[in-house]
Amino acid sequence: MPGQSDTPYLDALRAYAARNPGRFHVPGHEGGAAADPGLIEAFGERVFSLDIPALTYGIDVGDEPTPFLEAQGLAADAWGARRTWWLVNGASQGNHVALLALGHSGQRVVTQRNAHSSTIDALIMSGLRPTFVSPELDPELHIAHCMTPEALDRALAETPEAAGATVVSPTYFGAVADVAGLAEVTHAHGVPLVVDEAWGAHLGFHEDLPAPALSLGADLVISSTHKVVGSLTQSAMIHLGHGELIEEGVVGRCVTLVESTSPNSLLFGSLDAARRSAATRGRELVGETLVALARTRDAVREIPGLDVLDERLAGAPGVFDYDPLRLAIDVRGTRMSGYELSRRLREEHDVLMELAGENVMVAVYGMGEDAGAASERLLAGLRAAVEAASADTRVAEGVQLAPPPPWGELVMTPREAFLGPQEVVAAREAVGRVAAESLAAYPPGIPNVLPGERLTSETLDYIEQTIAHGGSLRGASDRALRTLRVVVE
Ligand X SMILES: Cc1ncc(COP(=O)(O)O)c(C=O)c1O
Task: Assess 78 for contact with ligand X (CB under 6 A).
Answer: no
Bridge partners for 130 per DSSP: 109
Q: By Cβ distance, which residue is nearest to ligand X?
A: 90
Q: Which is nearer to ligand X, 87 or 487 (CB)?
A: 87
* Contacts to ligand X from residues 342-361, by CB under 6 A: none
Q: Which is nearer to ligand X, 316 or 355 (CB)?
A: 355
Contact (CB, 8 A) for 215 and 204: yes
Nearest approach in angstroms of CB 383 to ligand X is 29
Nearest approach in angstroms of CB 227 to ligand X is 7
Could you give the string, one character per residue 168-187, with x where binding to ligand X holds by CB under 6 A and - elsewhere?
x---x---------------
| Beta-carbon contacts of residue 100 (< 8 Å; ≥ 6 apart) | 122, 125, 126, 254, 257, 258
Nearest approach in angstroms of CB 94 to ligand X is 7
- The residue within the footprint of ligand X, chosen from 92, 134, 413, 456 (CB under 6 A), is 92
Nearest approach in angstroms of CB 172 to ligand X is 6
Task: Assess 91 for contact with ligand X (CB under 6 A).
Answer: yes
Task: Assess 224 for contact with ligand X (CB under 6 A).
Answer: yes
- Binding range to ligand X, per CB under 6 A, among 90-98, 286-294, 346-354, 405-413: 90-98
* Contacts to ligand X from residues 233-262, by CB under 6 A: 236
Nearest approach in angstroms of CB 355 to ligand X is 9
Q: Which is nearer to ligand X, 235 or 289 (CB)?
A: 235
- The residue within the footprint of ligand X, chosen from 70, 178, 196, 259 (CB under 6 A), is 196
Nearest approach in angstroms of CB 83 to ligand X is 20
Nearest approach in angstroms of CB 237 to ligand X is 10
Task: Assess 228 for contact with ligand X (CB under 6 A).
Answer: no
Nearest approach in angstroms of CB 34 to ligand X is 30
- Binding range to ligand X, per CB under 6 A, among 8-16, 91-99, 257-265, 481-489: 91-99
- The residue within the footprint of ligand X, chosen from 10, 128, 175, 198 (CB under 6 A), is 198
- The residue within the footprint of ligand X, chosen from 23, 108, 113, 116 (CB under 6 A), is 116
- The residue within the footprint of ligand X, chosen from 66, 112, 114, 118 (CB under 6 A), is 118
Count of residues of this chain found to bind ligand X when the rule CB under 6 A is applied: 12
Nearest approach in angstroms of CB 235 to ligand X is 8
- The residues that touch ligand X, with contacts defined as CB under 6 A, are 90-92, 95, 116, 118, 168, 172, 196, 198, 224, 236
